[in-house]
Amino acid sequence: MAEFLLKSDIAEICERLGDTAQDFAGKTVLLTGGRGFLGRYFMEIFAHLNQHILKKPVKLVAADNLITAGKEGANVAEYPHTEFIQHDVIQPLKWKGSLDYVIHAAGIASPFYYRAHPLATLEVAITGTRRMLELAQEHNARFTFFSSSEIYGDPDPKHVPTPESYRGHVSCQGPRACYDESKRVGETLCYIFHGEHGTKTNTIRPFNVFGPGMQETDYRVLPNFANRIKGGHPLNVYGSGNQTRTFCYITDAMVGFLLVILRGVPGEAYNIGNPKPEISMVDLVNRISEVIGKPVAHNVIEYPDSYPADEPNRRCPDIRKAKLQLKFEPSVDLNEGLRRFLTWADGVYTGEQ
């Protein structure tokens, strides 16, 4: 039976946190987007911490409206000290009792879905963020907002790798604007709440995180490729194929996220990703061929109507701030991450569950 997430990855993340994880002991955490790709990792990590590491359990309250959760997300495992509530973050959430951390990971992050649901994408990143900030303010909880590397838009080459200080080159009108601009407003809300109310806010800007648990129906590049390999079809590379990205394996990303949540300087934003290698989508196909040990055919095609075409030409993070302030250091190279992901996908995507 193939697992939706690799237990070895969850254990690795918790081990790499070291003594920092004890900051969660005896605390209460509210997680929005609890059944999304990242949310499911958070739920498994907290369950593992409670079972194996923490001296006193952390209470996790996970919320999700399950609209884009898919079959993996809808199956909510029951763990001690964990409560799941079906809730839309656009609506106010009343919480009685203590609350120490709010992790706002709810959002519509797949280009396929935000192309189809632009208003809902705006609302969860703007209204939902304000609702959760108000809750954090009320309980004096630390607040972490999951933004996106998309807030940088298509950066000028002289700003690649891109630092947190770069202000962005983003269009407010276009097929990606509902996502890019709403994340930018969400960050502004965090800035205002920190400045006006003293709320301890942090913003995370993830860069192309991948790993087991990604759903085929998200239509992102690596699930797309894995699905095509499964069916014995050539890989479809959109646009020119020369657009470049860096990819961060999920264990590195989750360690970085948790370091921000626990140790981030209040009011600050952090890039979390892997700055190397920056490769084109055609080069990514070649890497996959290396990993699986055989040539993989591909076609370079026009963007389908369901996928927004105005994607950035380059995306590569400058992570010096997270390195210096949080001691964040990615350790899983691209080939190893692809090996883990494709091995997992070969079992799950072929229905061996």
Whole-number Å distance between alpha carbons of 147 and 202 = 10
Reduced to 3 states (helix: H, G, I; strand: E, B; else coil), residue 142 is: strand
User: Which of these, 103, 190, 183, 111, lies nearest to 147 by C-alpha position?
Assistant: 183
Is 303 a known active-site residue? no
Other Cβ atoms within 10 Å of 98 Cβ, number: 12
Among the listed residues 101, 179, 249, 349, the single catalytic one is: 179
Whole-number Å distance between alpha carbons of 266 and 351 = 44
- Rg from Cα positions in the chain: 19
Reduced to 3 states (helix: H, G, I; strand: E, B; else coil), residue 239 is: coil
> Is residue 204 within 8 Å of 265, Cβ to Cβ?
no
Other Cβ atoms within 10 Å of 272 Cβ, number: 26
Reduced to 3 states (helix: H, G, I; strand: E, B; else coil), residue 201 is: strand
Whole-number Å distance between alpha carbons of 219 and 286 = 20
> Is residue 48 within 8 Å of 42, Cβ to Cβ?
no
> Is residue 210 within 8 Å of 248, Cβ to Cβ?
yes
Strand ranges, E, within the chain: 28-32, 59-64, 82-86, 101-104, 142-146, 201-206, 209-210, 235-238, 244-245, 248-249, 268-272, 279-280, 298-301
Whole-number Å distance between alpha carbons of 197 and 98 = 19
DSSP annotation of 237: E
Q: Could you list the active site residues? A: 179
